[in-house]
Amino acid sequence: MCPGSGLLKGQLRGGFCLYVSGMACDGERGSGLGNRLRGPVRSVWAKHDRDAEGWLPLWRHMEDSAAVAGLLWDRWLPANVRDLISGALPGGERDGRRLAVWLAGMHDIGKATPAFACQVDQLADVMRAQGLEMKTRRQFGPDRRLAPHGLTGQVLLAQWLEEQHGWSGRQSAQFAVVVGGHHGVMPDHGQLKSLDDRPHLLRTPGPSRAVWQRVQGELMDACADEFGVRDRLAVWRAVKLPQPVQVLLSALVIVADWIASNPDLFPYFPQAAHCTGAERVAAAWQGLRLPEPWSAEEPPQDVGELFGTRFDLPPGAVVRPVQAAAVRLARTMSQPGLVVIEAPMGEGKTEAALAVAEVLAARSGAGGVFFALPTMATGNAMFPRLLDWLKRLPTEEGTRLSALLAHSKAALNDAYADLMRKSAQRIAAVAVDEEDRPWRPADDKRAASAELVAHAWLRGRKKAMLSSFVVGTVDQLLFAGLKSRHLALRHLAVAGKVVVIDEAHAYDTYMSAYLDRVLSWLGAYRVPVVVLSATLPAGRRRQLAEAYAGAESTVSAEEFEAVARTDGYPLLTAVPPGGTPVIECPPASARETSVRLERLDDDFGVLADRLATELEGGGCALVVRNTVNRVLETAKVLRERFGDDAVTVAHSRFIDVDRAAKDADLLARFGPPGKSQERPRGPHVVVASQVAEQSLDVDFDLLVTDLCPVDLLLQRMGRLHRHQRGHNQGDRPHRLRTARCLVTGVDWTGPVPVPVRGSVSVYGAYGLLRSAAVLLEHLDGPRRPVRLPQDISPLVQNAYAEEAAVPPGWAEGMDTARQRHEEHRKDQAERAGTFRLDAVGRPGRPLIGWVAAGVGDADDTRAGRAQVRDSKESLEVVVVQRRADGVLATVDWIAPDKAGLELPQDRPPAPGAARAAAACGLRLPVQFSYAEVMDRAIAELEELYVPAWQVKDSYWLAGQLILVLDGDCQTRLAGFSLRYSPCDGLEVTRD
């Protein structure tokens, strides 16, 4: 304790002492919130550590939080976020910073209430001695839970603004709600009414009430003076704060509070009582070392130079017209906004998106990029590409950029794991999940120029998206439209970035309802968004444009209708925030493919015979099935005909490490010329599920596919003759130099095609019949080939048109299928609305009850993903084996250094063994998603509960469901027999 400080007489239990009045200690001389306060107000506490016998006065925590908010504003918050906040205030940037600092300082004012202060007896006794009488925690009873300090803080601030500064209730609420929501949920009207009915929770009745009121007023007055807002309050009274600004301020206050609440960065008293506030904050910020946001420079005007310096292009590669046009459009938009890029498969949309993102970031002040992809597998494939791009960006010396792979199994991704290892060498890399869990500050080693880091503090479950550059599943974006705790943080994360949404056609009505709501908020935040698709229906294009423009847009319905009527392809659509859509139709590249379609009877023997004929002279065929069971049945038949070595299986029912190896193997053997080194010379067939549709740059000589919606069928066709192999495809087997696609999975013999049952369960009958209908001219008569890319847009638009032509004789079957389809879409939309975030409210409307009746926490778990995807909740397990001696071990067929590692049950496994086991995660198929079967399966899996694996040192396996296979890779679960094969994945049969 500093000499000269006024000490309370005696020592409190636990051995720590308090000062509440008299001279300031040496460390408080000069300016500061503490210097403005005397008497009882100094006894009000904010933090207490029972174990370390430390405490923190409220004024100090308020000062810490305000200082952190100022540093976040100056050094961490992207320019576009600062601009949006500042633009709502008459004093611009200066007002924006002052408001953020003041609200961060005020966030815990609700702790200056008896409902909070009574929680620690010895600290409450000190306050009582200063005239702040209060009941004990027991005496308050259950009523105390009606007064969380965020709620009481909102009420106190609103009262102060209204009583001392003449604000109305509506005017004060739009500012005070930021304080009320600093623990992740804005209070609702019911909570405010309950507290209003219990004033004793705010101030103890009787003589002590005046002391409480004086202390609360002194704290708020001191904050207004210390943080420079007193003379601004009269001006701000007339401000109508937009809801997006309220959200961003709330998120900034949350982040500032979390940092200032970390006792390793901001130690408690008495240990910390000797240092000044400035010294304290400087030391904490140096220890935290948050990477600053990306400050994008305007990229080279020459598009060839831009692409040549940013991407690893093959020799002689030229920028494609779509890529050049997209960059030009991004540069000439009236304001950075939404850019939709529709172009054929293999046209370089990913590179175009990153180039456009760089332009839009430079123009808007965005501080990073979020790349949203449909699946974890596509995210894993994208992450190293993003890192390569980041390494090529021009940056100032010493720049540190934070990067993150955002999905639940990111730590198993080699590229991300390598980034974490490198970061850990410079930073104390400790994963932090919750805001109140301590972590050790970083050391002070200086980073190299343009360092990419997976920052420890930004890897927590709630903070991950705050990294500057993020690759993740689209679920992470859709969560921004889900009423959930700490939603404001997700909004801050996306508001400061350029958002790229890949494979936009892949999302059904349920997911699209969330995506459209998120887009409406992104438009309100003026976030640049890039949407990519090869096969986007015109109606969906219009919906995306309207959602981004927002309900308040002045753009006419006719202008949006023009977006839907456009039939050009490739196609670029730009929508400035609130502005008129701009449409451009650049030419396609010179790459063209004509694909001849044929029917093929749905018979495994017929398929085997046809492939034997087609591949007689060698060649590589891709067979795509709509269900995993059909994949496995097909592979069994084809292996009997061609041999085991000539058939490869790929689907989603492999353990993670095998799935990654499958993708790598496919790329190595069937990837682009010059990159694939092992393309089979003899006949080879890959039998795959939908995993072959997305983000795999593979190239086959022949395609066989089950009938599916036409946009997805075109995606599959994008894997056929994807690259030029010799002049006029002369390096392909002679019979396969013409691209051909055989369509099966349908009984073609009746008046109306009948798709196989599995396909109907996946896609619905209507989408399959619409697909068959638009393909008829390519399947019948002269059988005009499908020309890629010319026919992509016409086929997709005709298949999804509201008033589509019906082939003769199909009317009854089509009407029945359409009715079921519309009922299903209506049901999806209604269910999506249950927890979907409301639309952006009018400026000045407070965010009271913003996420009321929400889902609680939302994260990237199987339960979390089920909230934004219309799919049954699935079970995920970690697969291990039981050796002959009874010991559990990692499976024996993976890499030699990871196979067969012992997993002892009496102690935590070695870290390498635990990680190797965790890499063998597997999602069980739909049979285990039905409630009764799932409950039985969980109960059986939980019989293997290993307490030694649940400790902190064994986080790889903690909380996981373990599926144990025997030496023959078999087991039984919930009435099913399970067999796993590294070649075929998981096979499930009913006992």
Tens digit of pLDDT for each residue in 334-378?
A: 999 999 999 998 889 999 999 999 999 999 999 999 999 988 888
Burial of 43 (0-12, 13-18, 19+ CB in 10 A): buried
Q: Please, are residues 625 and 771 in contact by the beta-carbon 8 Å criterion?
A: no
Q: Could you give the CA distance from residue 23 to residue 39 in angstroms, rounded to a whole number?
A: 11
Report which of 222, 30, 19 is spatially closest to residue 109, judged by C-alpha positions: 222
Predicted local confidence at residue 434, as pLDDT: 35
Provide the mean pLDDT of the chain.
88
pLDDT band at 396 (very low <50, low <70, confident <90, very high): confident
pLDDT of residue 931: 85
**Percentage of residues in the chain with pLDDT exceeding 90?**
69
**Backbone torsions φ then ψ of 332, nearest 5 degrees:** -110, 0
- Strands 702-706, 620-624: pairing is parallel
Which CATH class, in words, describes the domain spanning 593-788? alpha beta
Which pLDDT score, from 0 to 100, does residue 875 have? 87
- pLDDT confidence tier of residue 557, bands split at 50, 70 and 90: confident
CA 686/CA 695 separation, integer angstroms? 17
Q: What CATH number should be reported for the domain whose range is 6-15+31-280?
A: 1.10.3210.30
Closest alpha carbon to 62 in 308, 227, 178, 236:
227
**Residue 9 burial (CB < 10 Å; 0-12/13-18/19+)?**
exposed
Q: What is the pLDDT of residues 658-711, one digit of tens each?
A: 998 998 899 999 998 877 778 998 899 999 999 988 767 899 999 999 999 999
Half-sphere exposure (Cβ direction) of 753: Cα atoms closer than 13 Å: 31
Question: Does residue 259 carry a pLDDT above 80?
Answer: yes
Q: What is the DSSP string of 147-212?
A: --HHHHHHHHHHHHHHHHH---HHHHHHHHHHHHTTTSS---HHHHHHHHT-GGGTS-SSTHHHHH
Kindly report, residue by residue over 733-770, the tens digit of the pLDDT.
999 999 999 999 999 998 999 999 999 999 999 999 99
pLDDT confidence of residue 425: 47
Choose the weakest-confidence range: 28-42, 477-491, 769-783.
Answer: 28-42
Q: Is 570 exposed, middle or buried (0-12, 13-18, 19+ CB in 10 A)?
A: buried
**Residue 972: beta bridge partners?**
977
pLDDT, tens digit, for every residue of 283-298? 999 999 899 999 999 9
Return the pLDDT at 856: 64
Highest mean pLDDT among 6-10, 53-57, 813-817: 813-817
Quote the pLDDT of residue 71. 97
- Residue 837 pLDDT > 50: yes
Same fold, 6-15+31-280 and 303-395+464-584: no
- Judge whether 373 and 503 are in contact, CB under 8 Å: yes
More reliable by pLDDT, 600 or 695: 600
Q: How would you label 807-824 residue by residue, b for 16+ Cβ within 10 Å and e otherwise?
A: beebeebbeebbeebeeb
For CA atoms 791, 794, 798, 801, the dihedral sign is positive
Residues 732, 720 contacting (CB under 8 angstroms): no
What is the enclosing helix (H) or strand (E) of 877?
A: strand 876-882
- What is the reported pLDDT for 607? 98
- Using DSSP bridges, classify how beta strands 451-453 and 976-981 pair: parallel, antiparallel or unpaired: unpaired
pTM of the model: 0.89
pLDDT at 461: 67
If DSSP codes are grouped into helix, strand and coil, which group holds residue 803? coil
Instruction: Calculate the alpha carbon distances from 266 to 49, 282, 310, 463 in Å.
Output: 13, 10, 41, 20
Mean predicted confidence (pLDDT) in 834-862 = 82
Superfamily for the 303-395+464-584 domain: P-loop containing nucleotide triphosphate hydrolases (3.40.50.300)
d(C-alpha 18, C-alpha 127), whole Å: 11
Does residue 8 register a pLDDT over 60? Answer: no
CA 677 vs CA 1, 680, 688, 991: distances in Å:
71, 9, 21, 44
Asked whether residue 450 carries a pLDDT value surpassing 90, the answer given is no
pLDDT of amino acid 272: 65
d(CA 965, CA 188): 50
For the cut 50, the answer to whether the pLDDT of residue 446 exceeds it is no
pLDDT value of position 426: 46
Among 216-230, 429-443, 466-480, 787-801, the minimum mean pLDDT is found in: 429-443
Alpha-carbon distance values, 16 to 5, 19, 57, 64, 888 (Å)? 14, 10, 13, 21, 50
Q: pLDDT band at residue 29, thresholds of 50, 70 and 90? A: very low
Domains of the chain, by residue range, sit at: 6-15+31-280, 303-395+464-584, 593-788, 872-990
Residues 891-936 pLDDT 10s: 999 999 999 999 999 999 999 999 999 999 999 998 998 889 999 9
What pLDDT sits at residue 872?
64
- Window from 176-185, 482-491, 692-701 with minimum mean pLDDT: 692-701
Q: 464: pLDDT confidence band, cut at 50, 70 and 90?
A: confident
Out of 22-36, 364-378, 596-610, 945-959, least confident range: 22-36
Strand partners, 342: 533, 571
Please report the pLDDT score of residue 454 as a whole number: 63
